[in-house]
Amino acid sequence: MKKKELIATIAEKSGISKVAAAKALKATTDAIADALAKGEDVQLVGFGTFRTKKRAERTAKNPRTGEAVKVAAATVAAFKAGKALKDKVNG
């Protein structure tokens, strides 16, 4: 599902316009990104938890040349699905 399709689905299920759905989606994703940037977790009960994780520096391999390349340490966003979401996905 692409962003436009998600916006259309939100608009249809909530009975609001696509413009309002797009604004709501943008506000939601911005709020999650802002919280993660501050190092906070975002827990949506029944859906899952967004959090940041530290990734250590490591050595990787360039697939074209086979040369070893250092990959710098980084903080990355991660998502862990909640039980209700796992149950729905698994039928």
What is the domain partition of the chain in residue ranges? Answer: 1-40, 41-91
When pLDDT is averaged across residues 22-32 and rounded to a whole number, the result is 97
Instruction: Please tell me the predicted confidence (pLDDT) of residue 91.
Output: 86
Max CA distance (Å), the chain:
55
pLDDT of 84 strictly over 90:
yes
Q: Which CATH class is domain 41-91?
A: few secondary structures
> pLDDT confidence of 68, banded at 50, 70, 90?
very high
Of the pLDDT bands very low, low, confident and very high (cuts 50, 70, 90), residue 27 is very high
The pLDDT of residue 17 is above 90: yes
pTM of the model: 0.81
Taking phi over 0 as left and psi of -120 to 50 as alpha, with beta for the rest, 39 belongs to left
Q: Is the pLDDT score of 33 beyond 90?
A: yes
- The H or E element containing residue 29 is helix 18-37
